[in-house]
Amino acid sequence: MSTLEGATRAARAEDLLMAPKIAQAIFAALLDFYTWKLSQKIYGAGSAASMATVCIFTNPLGILSDR
């Protein structure tokens, strides 16, 4: 990210385009974490059902996607 004072207009524009993607990634990671915590509370810590819940509601291959 180009937060330096000498950054060009193009670099600043790129930062503005990147910011929502970073915010969405952080939000998704937090949501996945708390889904896992809730499933552990419901099904018990370390159970296969709690991990299955996380796998159903998250896309483990999402990091390979272009979007």
What pLDDT is recorded for position 63?
A: 59
pLDDT digits (tens, 9 = 90+) for 7-60: 788 888 888 889 999 999 899 889 888 988 888 898 888 888 877 877 777 766
- Residue 65: predicted pLDDT: 61
Task: Quote the pTM value.
Answer: 0.62
Amino acid 26: pLDDT: 92
Q: Say whether 49 sits in a helix, a strand or coil.
A: helix
Do 42 and 36 contact (CB within 8 A), yes or no?
no
Query: Which of the pair, 30 or 4, is modelled with greater confidence?
Result: 30
DSSP string, 14-48: HHHHHHHHHHHHHHHHHHHHHHHHHHHHHH-TT-H
